Amino acid sequence: MLKERLTAMGLENVHTNPQSAYVFATLPANTDKKVPAVGFISHIDTADFNAENVKPQIVENYDGHSVIPLDKAGEYTLDPKVFPSLKKYQGQTLITTDGTTLLGADDKAGVAEILAAVAYLQANPDIEHGPIKVAFGPDEEIGTGADHFDVKDFGADFAYTVDGGPLGDLNYETFNAAEARVSIKGTDVHPAEAKGVMVNAIQFGMDFHAALPEYDRPEKTSGRQGFYHIYDFQGSVDHTELAYIIRDHDRDRFEARKRLFTGIADQMNKEFGEKRIQVELKDQYYNMGEIISKDPSVVEIAKQAMKNVDVEPHIFPVRGGTDGSKISYMGLPTPNLFAGGENMHGRFEYVSEQTMVKATDVIVEIAKLYTQQ
């Protein structure tokens, strides 16, 4: 559908990259100046919370304090007492769910904003711009979408993911991220004859988890504080598996967190007198700030673009990652711009139409600024 839409809009080199399944397209430059090619990237997949049969609702001229009913039965509502972010949107048009699904503004709002910006540039040829590259990809929500991103085929010199949250969000620092899987081999015998023989893998899984710092959990941390997050624990006396994600903005602390995992396993194996616990670590992505800090111009242009369209930049480290985390390490600096979504990944998700318009304005302004460098 996107290929058809982009082709109908008159963009060039519209194709699906066979390496990554991204749809790529180019809006050619309309100036003879030598201008860097700028890319804008969004993902088309959504989170997996009731993601089918989405029926958006439009709330016009929201008053900033009323409760917004979502479903007909009134079981689910957007209440400013629960979601104080609603108070920011007085007088604006909100797009909400009907209470049964997510909305999908993450990141279909980004897709819409990029398409709207391209259409605006086409309709206003007096606005000088260099080559504009657009990309729409899959699988961001499961963390694999950018694994095979083809930077050479995309052809941009700088890029932005349009995948952030509320108005003004600008991110160029993300977590360093790893996954850890802990496998514990037990010995299962009858409890009546267990003394000195049984090795209860479930119990030792609990002991392993208890050896991690008590407060280094997502629910206990914020800002630049990293964490260990156990998201799966399954098994029996005979065999138990634990799955974690490990996160930290600082690379040295990140590496120390991984060493703690292997250190706990080594100590427990030493006490067993044999290797019963195995830890498998897999890095997922790194803090793109390490790359972008070497040439922060890509961030400075985004900041100036926001200010030019009366948006105050809100810069903060992401407690997560974006496709730009991986793409930046492939040699294409790719910070993240706001797309407007609030309460993402659930039935209470909503987005402001006016914020989406501002996101479109920022994209257009970035294209303009690159011609002035």
Task: Dump the DSSP string for 221-249.
Answer: --TT--EEEEEEEEE-SSEEEEEEEEEES
Domains of the chain: 2-174+288-370 (3.40.630.10), 176-285 (3.30.70.360)
Name the band, by pLDDT with cuts 50, 70 and 90, for residue 92. Answer: very high
Would you list which residues are annotated within the binding site for Zn(2+)?
43, 106, 141, 163, 345
Q: Read off the amino acid at residue 282.
A: K
pLDDT of residue 338: 98
Catalytic positions, please?
45, 140
Q: What is the mean pLDDT of residues 343-363?
A: 97
pLDDT of residue 320: 87
pLDDT of residue 222: 95
Residues whose CB is less than 8 angstroms from the CB of residue 175 and which lie 6 or more positions away in sequence, other chains included:
226, 247, 248, 249, 285, 287, 317, 318, 319, 320, 321
In the chain, what percentage of residues exceed pLDDT 90?
A: 97
pLDDT of residue 266: 98
Return the DSSP state at 86: G
pLDDT of residue 335: 97
pLDDT digits (tens, 9 = 90+) for 1-32: 999 999 999 999 999 999 999 999 999 999 99
Q: What is the mean pLDDT of residues 303-318?
A: 97
Cα separation of 303 and 146, whole Å? Answer: 25
Which runs of E-coded beta strand occur in the chain? 12-16, 23-27, 38-43, 57-59, 68-69, 77-78, 94-96, 132-137, 158-164, 169-171, 176-185, 227-235, 239-248, 277-285, 314-315, 336-338, 350-352
Query: 185 forms bridges with which residues in the sheet?
Result: 239
Is the pLDDT score of 283 beyond 90?
A: yes
In the chain, what percentage of residues exceed pLDDT 70?
A: 100
Other CB atoms within a 10 A radius of the CB of residue 65 amount to 11
pLDDT digits (tens, 9 = 90+) for 104-137: 999 999 999 999 999 999 999 999 999 999 999 9
Name the band, by pLDDT with cuts 50, 70 and 90, for residue 60. Answer: very high
Would you list which residues are annotated within the binding site?
43, 106, 141, 163, 345
- Look up the pTM and report it: 0.90
Name the band, by pLDDT with cuts 50, 70 and 90, for residue 373. Answer: confident
Residues whose CB is less than 8 angstroms from the CB of residue 237 and which lie 6 or more positions away in sequence, other chains included:
186, 187, 188, 198, 200, 201, 202
Average pLDDT of the residues of the chain: 96
Q: What is the mean pLDDT of residues 348-354?
A: 98
pLDDT digits (tens, 9 = 90+) for 220-235: 999 999 999 999 999 9
Tokens of 173: 């620092």
pLDDT digits (tens, 9 = 90+) for 234-270: 999 999 999 999 999 999 999 999 999 999 999 999 9
